[in-house]
């Protein structure tokens, strides 16, 4: 499952802490896929890393789940 990032606007650029997380913590590479969520709508996206900038290209809009799957167990 790709990492999910919540962004304030659709500008095809990831900066600051999210950029650091993608490059240094997750060690992602060009072409890796992430999920970008903007104002409640989520998209599958491919990233392009150029020095300190991370750009993304939207691949497809993801369907919103109307229900949640919950499993309860009795111990």
Domain ranges in the chain are 4-61
Sign, CA dihedral 6-11-16-20, equals positive
**How large is the average pLDDT for residues 13-40?**
94
* Domain 4-61: CATH class, spelled out: mainly beta
Q: Please tell me what DSSP assigns to residue 51.
A: T
Helix (H, G, I), strand (E, B) or coil at 25: helix
32: region left, alpha or beta (phi > 0 left; psi from -120 to 50 alpha) = beta
Chain-wide mean pLDDT for the chain? 90
Percentages helix, strand, coil for the chain (3-state, rounded to 5) are 15, 40, 45
Query: pLDDT for 62-75, tens place per residue?
Result: 987 666 677 888 87
- pTM, two decimals, is 0.80
């Amino acid at each position: 499952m790709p990492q999910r990032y919540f962004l304030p606007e659709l500008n095809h650029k990831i900066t600051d802490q999210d950029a650091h997380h993608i490059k240094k913590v997750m060690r992602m590479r060009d072409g890796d896929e992430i999920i970008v969520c903007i104002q409640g709508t989520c998209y599958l996206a491919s990233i392009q890393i150029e020095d300190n900038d991370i750009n993304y290209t939207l691949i497809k809009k993801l369907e919103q789940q109307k229900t949640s799957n919950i499993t309860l167990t009795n111990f």
